Amino acid sequence: MRNDDSRLEDINNAAIRLAEYVAGITLEQFLEDNMRKAATIREMEIMGEAAYRVSKRFKTDHTEVPWAILMTLRNFYIHVYDRIDYERVWYTAANTVPRIQSAVSRLLPPSDESV
């Protein structure tokens, strides 16, 4: 069974991939690139699903991560796919996700790179 640390890794890794998708491009370039838009949405869905699966206790103890926002975004992108505003997706990817990734990365256990 996967634990909270595994879910945090999922969120962190998705946020890192997402940052790569939007790095060095303009909003206009993003809006013209359907593959990049789809990949960005997918990483946000992964982040939200992982946030949903983090234990309630952990979320209560670590309010510095906006768990509810992650879960709401995931639900919106999955269920209301026909009303996605890609300018808002861009803003979220460029501004909100880096802050979330920073908060989550501080909660990750230290990696044992000596193994």
Q: Residue 49 has which token pair?
A: 């699903």
Distance CA 90, CA 106 (A): 24
Distance CA 94, CA 58 (A): 26
pTM surpassing 0.75?
yes
Q: Positive or negative, the Cα torsion across 31, 32, 33, 34? A: positive
Distance CA 54, CA 65 (A): 11
First to last CA, the chain: 23
For 1-11, what is each residue's pLDDT tens digit? 679 999 999 99
For 26-72, what is each residue's pLDDT tens digit? 999 999 999 999 999 999 999 999 999 999 999 999 999 999 999 99
